[in-house]
Every structure is written in C-alpha cells, then in structure tokens.
Amino acid sequence: MDLDLTVDAVTLTEQLVNIESVSRGEQAIADAVEAALAAYPHLTVSRHGHTVVARTDLGRGERVVIAGHLDTVPVNDNLPARRQESAEGVLLHGLGTCDMKGGDAVILRLAATLPEPNRDVTFILYDAEEIEEQFNGLRLLAQRHPELMVADFAILMEPSNAVVEAGCQGTLRVDVRTTGERAHSARSWRGRNAIHGAAEVLRRLNEYDARRPVIDGLEYREGLNAVFIRGGVAGNVLPDECVVEVNFRFAPDRSEAEAEAYVRDFFDGFEVTLTDLAPGALPGLDVPAAKAFVEAVGGQVNPKFGWTDVARFTGLGVPAVNFGPGDPMLAHKQEEHVPVEHIERCEAQLRAWLTDGLTS
C-alpha cells in the first residue's frame, strides 16, 4: 500500500489506521513508511527490522528526536477508520487513531515537508511498543545503533491530549505470597489457610495512602494495587499458597532501588518477589531544549502517570517529553478515537517550533 505524504495529517492518519499493524505484524506499514520517506532527498532513511529512521543532516547546533510507534494492540472490531461529527468537533474513530497513528501522521508530515528545519531532526517510527519489552523497536535501536538515538531533546508522540506531559512514573511488580498447610476442608483445624492469610495483605493495600510529590512544578500521584490474586488446590482442600500480584506506580523522584525497598517494607513479614521493574523519568524541564519546547507549544505541562518510552531516552541522558494527539485514557479501548483538532494542533505547533527564527 502506498502512503501519500502530501495529504493533510488527518487523511494520512486514516491511511495509516487502515494498514493493520498489530504488534509483530508491522511489515506492511513499515514498508509503506520507508518507501514514502525514501522519496524525499533531504532525508537519510534507514531500516532496522520494522523500525524506520529518517534524519536531516544540516549541521544544526541542536538535534531533536521525534518518535512514534507503528504497532497497535489487537483488532477489536474497530477497523477501518471512520470520521464522526461530535460536540467537540470531528472525531476520527478506529484502532490506533489515538495510540498512536495520529502522532505518526504528524511525524511523517513534518519529515516530508520541512527540508530545512531550524534544528536537525531524527524521525523514528518503530515497532513492537505494545508488547513485551524484549521486542520493543526503540530498545533494539538503542542497543544496536545508539548513534541514531543521540539528541539534545526527544519528543515521543504518545497520546497526551496535545499537551506536553513531562517525565513518567516508574512501574514495579511484585508477587506477595502467603503460605499455609494443606488439609481436607472437612477437617480444616488440621491445616492453615493461605488465602485467609492474604487478608492482611489486602488490608494494608486498602490503607495505602498515595504519595503525591511535586517535581519541577508537576504533581505526580503514586499507586499501589493488587492486579492479580490466585490461590486454591481443590474444592475440598485448604490451600497452602496464595499469591497477590501487586503493581506499584512510583513518582520519578524514587529510584528503582528505592521503589523496591518501599514495597518490601510495605509488605514486611510476607514473602515478596520482584517480577518487573522499569524506572520513572524525571521531567527534566530545566534543560534549555525542553524549556524552549514547552514555551513554543504554549507553556502548559502535565505530569505523565503511565510509563512510556520517554524513560528510555531519559536513561540515555536525553531529556524527553510526551506530546501527541489523543486522550491516553482511550488507548487500548475499542472505542478509541482522536479529535482531528488535536492532530492539526500538534502538527502546527511542532511546525512552528521547527521553523521559528528561519526566514522563509
């Protein structure tokens, strides 16, 4: 399928949405993106698996990365794209409209139409963001071609209601395990019920009081939640094990080690096994490139609660923010949609920022 980068970003979003690209099935969309970008001689295009990188090389004093992922969560009877009038203006409905082909369309439009931006730009469109970390295209690019990730600043076009969301919270998962002794449930006094033992784990979770630290002027909000619970052997047996899987979302002023220590202390007395850990990212808004960007797009900044690849850039020493069309609350929902006004505004603001100071 051919992509036409001369159409408006909303139409381009529709085209991208209609190329199905569930994680691990990004070949077609990556081929289309690569072919479309390769037509522009001001870009140096390279392909890495199903990740496409397009760079300007104008020798500017500053380089920024603008990145988006091409994959979506599984289809849920929500293709192809369709437009709908609403009280908030025209909405574009369909899988990936919000997360995040609206942002991808903006990236492609900027790449195609700005042969001489005021800053050098590395555009990255990558695969496998929605699945296990091991497949993540940005992760693999950073591993194999770290030189392509080098920048003074990075913008990830994850949905953020077309407002800058800075930093992101970290995420950690633990299994909290209670143990007991099996016994026939007809003679329960001979055993010790591990599920009953989990009452205290849940009691503590109910009493948890979320910390809301203010960092660089942004209020974060932590969260500690059981996401799974399981236990049981048979319908007539006292269970000897119960596992509560707990997810801790922590503000970026805690390190990974501090977050782990907090959770271990919180569940003191129980067996706690760490199963997953990804650091948060500090907003980093004191960096000049970030400051300038925030000012250019209107000055409003919100904290990012969810974990995004912003943390990957921060880990590489590149300050980064989320800035993209669409409401993150709609991501992964069947009724996912994006206001076309978001797409248009993001494009216009990024265009203004990348051309400011140039004589046209």
Instruction: Pick between residue 231 and residue 284 the one whose CB is nearest to its own copies.
Output: 231
Looking only at residues 320 through 349 of this chain, which bind its own copies when binding is defined by CB under 8 A? 329
Between 60 and 196, whose beta carbon lies closer to its own copies?
196
Taking CA atoms, 299 is separated from 207, 257, 344, in Å, by 37, 33, 18
CA 255/CA 207 separation, integer angstroms: 24
What minimum distance in Å lies between the beta carbon of 62 and its own copies?
Answer: 31
- Smallest gap from Cβ 11 to its own copies, in A, equals 30
Task: Determine, following the binding rule CB under 8 A, whether residue 69 of this chain makes contact with its own copies.
Answer: no
> H or E element: which one contains 276?
strand 271-278
Q: Which listed range, 94-102, 109-117, 167-175, 352-360, lies at the site for its own copies (CB under 8 A)?
A: 167-175
User: Is the distance from CB of 85 to CB of 340 less than 8 angstroms?
Assistant: no
Residue 263: C-alpha distances to residues 40, 251, 275, 278 (Å): 51, 13, 12, 14
- Rg of the chain (C-alpha set): 23
- Residue 217 token pair: 């002027």
Q: Which is nearer to its own copies, 49 or 223 (CB)?
A: 223
- DSSP annotation of 100 reads I
Return the number of the residue (143 or 225) whose C-beta is nearest its own copies: 225
Size of the site for its own copies (CB under 8 A): 47
Any contact of residue 72 with its own copies (CB under 8 A)? no
Contact call for residue 269 and its own copies (CB under 8 A): no
Asked if 173 touches its own copies (CB under 8 A), the answer is yes
β-bridge partners, 168: 281
Residue 167 near its own copies by CB under 8 A:
no
By CB under 8 A, tell whether 238 contacts its own copies: yes
Q: Any idea which residues carry the catalytic annotation?
A: 71, 129
Distant-in-sequence, close-in-space partners of 230: CB < 8 Å, separation ≥ 6: 242, 243
CA dist 33 and 15 (Å) reads 11
Residue type, 164: V
Spatial distance between the Cα atoms of 313 and 153, rounded to a whole number of angstroms: 9
Interface segment toward its own copies; rule CB under 8 A; list 3-11, 49-57, 129-137, 303-311: 303-311
For the bound state, the minimum distance from the C-beta of residue 204 to its own copies, rounded and expressed in Å, comes to 9
Pick the piece of the chain touching its own copies (CB under 8 A) from 26-34, 192-200, 312-320, 351-359: 192-200
Q: Confirm or reject binding of residue 231 to its own copies (CB under 8 A).
A: yes
Residues 273-302 that bind its own copies (CB under 8 A): 276
DSSP 79: -
- The amino acid occupying position 83 is R
Q: How far is CA 61 from CA 43, 82, 120, 122, 338, in A?
A: 18, 42, 8, 14, 35
Fill in the amino acid letter for 337. Answer: H
**Contact (CB, 8 A) for 65 and 56:** no
Contact 185, 269 (CB under 8 A): no
Residue 225 makes contact with its own copies by CB under 8 A: yes
Given 29, 242, 289, 301, the residue binding its own copies (CB under 8 A): 242
Assess 249 for contact with its own copies (CB under 8 A).
Answer: yes
* 219 touches its own copies by CB under 8 A: no
What is the distance between the alpha carbons of residues 261 and 73, in angstroms, rounded to a whole number? 33
Taking CB under 8 A as the criterion, the residue among 184, 214, 257, 335 binding its own copies is 184
189 vs 299, beta carbon nearer its own copies: 189
261 binds its own copies (CB under 8 A): no
Contacting positions for its own copies (CB under 8 A): 169, 171, 173, 184-190, 193, 195-196, 198-199, 202-203, 205-206, 210, 221, 223, 225-239, 242, 244-245, 247, 249, 276, 305-307, 329
